[in-house]
Amino acid sequence: MSPARPALRRPPLLGPGFHRGFGRGWLTAGFLFLYLPMAALVLASFNASPLPARWGGATLRWYRELLQDGELGAGLWLSVEIAAWAATASVVLGTLAAVALTRYRRFRGRTLFGGMVSAPLVMPEVIVGLSLLLMFVSVQRWFGVPERGALTIWMGHVLLGLAYATVVVQARLEGMNPALEEAAADLGARPLQVFWLVTLPLMAQALAAAWLLTFTLSLDDVVLSAFLSGPGSTTLPLVLFSRARLGQRPDINAAASLIILVVTIGVTVASVLLARAERRRAAELRAAQRPTG
């Protein structure tokens, strides 16, 4: 067990004061840049005037209208449904793919497999969407199924999610001590039992992260959904996109603010919980190191 590395200190770049000031300044400016649009949206959602250029006084009118917006509501429901199923399938397939890539060094077509898994990560969605759509149409011509709709959107989202999930799970697997799985086998666990009893529980956090990641990606997806949707399967991003193209719409501002609020609460709660668990774990580690034998 090697000694802990010293924490990254701050040797001066051009002088300690300049360094600290420059750093703080850059970070602050960067975060302002990142959060400015979100703040603007929230502000605009309370603007009585539909034009962002003029401030017409504070109002909750847009939120009230939002609650009655059936199209948005339907889109939201559909998006959440698709996203949940897509995330689940992505995690399952991604775990299988990650295990295959880490545990088996050589098998026929491994390079092709690795390439196909990671390609959706970088390929433009327009191309992925176009190819999938053409394939679905062709298959429909031959077999009569599938009709373009929620199912086809789901399939496209899983393709994308698979790539991300594999990356996350693979990173976790490669960091895992291989001796743990060997120890389980040595103690009498058959390969599937090793996976179920040891590998999977240790991957739990990575699996959760992968699920959330693919859920968000699916929920947010515009291009693939546009290509692969059919009548009656308009997802929330598609609704928003068609409205956004037309210009500024205050109902979008209200919807956006709500989404931002939900996400902020979610991320903050998650970070606080994680930080607390981390602190508890560090304390337990320190307690164990004290000489008691």
Partner 1 sequence: MAAPASYLQIRDVVKDFGTGSLAVDHVSLDIHKGEIFALLGPSGCGKTTLLRMLAGFETPTAGEILLDGQPLGGLPPYLRPINMMFQSYALFPHLSVRENVAFGLKRDGLPRDEVAGRVDAMLRLVQLRGYEQRKPHQLSGGQQQRVALARSLVKRPQLLLLDEPLGALDKKLREETQVELVNIITEVGVTCVMVTHDQEEAMNMASRMAVMNEGCVLQVGRPGEVYETPASRFVADFIGNVNLMDGAVAVDEPDYVEIDCPDCRHHVGHGITGHVGMAVTVAVRPEKIRLSRERPLGLHNQVRGTVRDKSYFGSFTVYHLVLASGAVLKVSESNVDRFREDAPEEGQEAWAAWSSTAQVVMAP
Partner 2 sequence: MTPAGRPLHATLLDRLVSHPMVRRHGRATLIGVPYGWLLAFFLLPFLIILKISVSEMEEVTFQDLVTWQDGRLTLALQLRSYLAILGDRLYLVTYLISLKYAAVTTVLCLAIGYPFAYFMARARPAAQPALLMLVMLPFWTSFLLRVYAWKGLLMEGGLVARGLGALGLGAPAAALGLIPAEGLWLNTPFSLVVGMVYTYLPFMVLPLYATLAKLDVRLLEAAADLGATPWVTFWKVTVPLSTAGIIAGAMLVFIPCIGEFVIPELLGGPSTLMIGRVLWDEFFSNNDWPMASAVAVTVILLIIVPLALFNRYQAEAREVRR
What's the one-letter identity of residue 131?
A: S
- CA angle (183 as vertex; 182, 185 as ends), nearest 5: 65
Token representation of residue 228: 């692969």
What lies within 8 Å, CB to CB, of 191 at 6+ separation is 185
Contacted entry of partner 1, partner 2, none for residue 1, CB cut-off 5 to 8 Å set by kind = partner 1
Q: What residues form DSSP beta bridges with 58?
A: 47
Total residues at interface with partner 1 (CB under 8 A): 28
Pick from 145, 179, 245, 246 the residue near partner 1 by CB under 8 A: 179
Q: Of 139 and 283, which has the nearer Cβ to partner 1? A: 283
Q: Which residue in the set 106, 141, 286, 290 belongs to the binding site for partner 2 (CB under 8 A)?
A: 141
Q: Exposed, middle or buried by CB within 10 Å (0-12, 13-18, 19+), for 176?
A: middle
For 36, residues 6+ apart whose C-beta sits below 8 A from its C-beta are none
Residue matched to tokens 């060997």: 182
Work out which of 28, 131, 193, 268 binds partner 1, going by CB under 8 A.
Answer: 193
Q: Which of residues 228-287 bind partner 1 (CB under 8 A)?
A: 281, 284-285, 287
Question: CA-CA distance, 90 to 155, in Å (whole number)?
Answer: 10
Task: Identify the residue among 83, 153, 158, 203 touching partner 2 (CB under 8 A).
Answer: 158
Q: Where are the beta strands (DSSP E) in the chain?
A: none
Residues between 189 and 208 with contacts to partner 2, criterion CB under 8 A: 190-193, 196
Which option in partner 1, partner 2, none does residue 265 bind, with CB closer than 5 to 8 A by kind? none
Phi, psi angles (nearest 5°) of residue 47: -80, 120
DSSP state of 58: B
Binding mask 118-157 for partner 1 (x = CB under 8 A): ----------------------------------------
Q: How far is the CB of 97 from partner 1 (least distance, A)?
A: 23
Which chain residues interact with partner 1 by CB under 8 A?
Answer: 1, 177, 179-180, 182-190, 193, 197-198, 201-202, 281, 284-285, 287-293
